Structure 1
Amino acid sequence: MSHATLQSPIGPILVSADDKLLTGVRIGASDLADAPTPLLREAIAQLAAWFEGRLVDFDLPLAPLKSPRGEDHSAAICAIPYGETASYGELARRISSSPRAIGQACRRNPMPIIIPCHRVLGAGGVIGHYTGGEGITTKLWLLQREQRKG
């Protein structure tokens, strides 16, 4: 496992990968870092471009999640377009799941920003929760960043 850190507007972001797949993104963490691999350099470059408003869709090889249902939840989250949001309930209806399961998928998301769980809100646009960085403050920053569209 290799690691690299991006210094971002929301604090350090630790990116982890094995030889071929991105395995994790941790907002607010920089406790591990070593010589970045080509994949980590690409992930850092794409994240930096996202923060600069030059990238809206990531193109990185991601490690599969532990279950097919987790993959379904992740795909539903990734289908929310840049700059838009969807509610836990709306996503649940789209994939025949439950709002609680969508919330758990967001909470367990190993790659925030890349799998954009910040785009998932509670009913009526309630901000909901966020486990990355400084929690709701970080989620609001990410949403506002996308609203600026560059």
Structure 2
Amino acid sequence: MNRHAVVSTRIGELTVVVSEGALVGVYFPHHWVKPSAETLGERVESDPLVAVVVGQLEEYFAGARRSFDVPTRPEGDAFQRRVWAVLEEIPYGGTTTYGDIATRLGASAQAVGKAVGQNPLSIVVPCHRVIGKNGSLTGYAGGLERKQFLLDLEEPVGARLF
């Protein structure tokens, strides 16, 4: 059964959703694709897995963590899961473009953009590392200012494109 908690973070409130030992969602307050009541499940004040996720997010925001190691189970169709798997390969401090992912998957950049926009695991599955072909920031469920914050947080690492 799904359960969720709304937590305060360095970049504002996040809704963390867990189910059966896995993280299933990390949502911003004005997320483009809103989770259903069923996806959210019961609201809890404390939960061991939520606490682990929040701890890892805090470490990430402090610059002490470059990847997440909680079990995840995002819900999506086969194409979305393929796109999200590519997102997980983008290294910390790196970026790629929608077009590069599209070429890699034999799909259109628009289809990739739609799948990236439906990523239910913001930050943990790093959709913020996908940028426009000219290097511009493009849409982000948490807003472009959060996307820029996350990219700036990772900037000192160096290499941009993977």
Q: Tell me the TM-score normalized by structure 2.
A: 0.82
1:119: how far off? 0.4
Amino acid at match of 1:143: L
Per-residue deviation, 1:38 = 1.7
* CA shift for structure 1 position 6: 3.1
The residue aligned with 2:51 is: 41
1:105-137 alpha-carbon deviations (Å, 9 max, x no partner): 1211111100111100111101111121xx111
Q: Matched residue of 2:84: which SS?
A: helix
Which of residues 74, 77, 92 in structure 2 aligns to 1:82?
92
The secondary structure found in structure 2 opposite 1:124 is coil
- Give how far 1:64 is off: 3.7
1:57 to 40, 59, 67: 67
Question: Which residue of structure 1 aligns with residue 33 of structure 2?
Answer: none
Instruction: Tell me the alpha carbon deviations over residues 51-110 of structure 1, each in whole angstroms, 9 at most, x when there is no partner.
Output: 111111111111243222111100111111101110100111112222111111121111
Partner of 2:134: 124
Letter in 2 for 1:139: K
| Corresponding letter in the other structure for 2:20 | D
| Residues 64 and 5 (structure 1), Cα distance of their counterparts in 2 relative to 1, 3 Å cut | closer
Partner of 1:137: 145
Taking the aligned partners of 1:87 and 1:35, their CA distance within structure 2 comes to: 38
1:145 Cα deviation after fit: 0.9
Match of 2:37 in 1: none
Structure 1 unaligned blocks of 5 or more: none
**Range 113-122 or range 98-107, more displaced:** 98-107
Aligned residues: 145
For structure 2, the 5+ residue unaligned runs are 31-41, 158-162
Find out whether 1:103 has 2:104 as its counterpart: no
Q: Distance in 2 between matches of 1:21 and 1:108?
A: 18
Match of 1:3 in 2: 4
The DSSP-based 3-state class of the residue aligned with 2:114 is: helix
Q: Please give the TM-score of this superposition, normalised by the length of structure 1.
A: 0.88
Deviation at 1:33, TM superposition (A): 4.7
Partner SS state of residue 125, structure 1? coil
Would you say 1:21 and 2:29 are equivalent positions?
no
> Equivalent pairs: percent with the same residue?
34
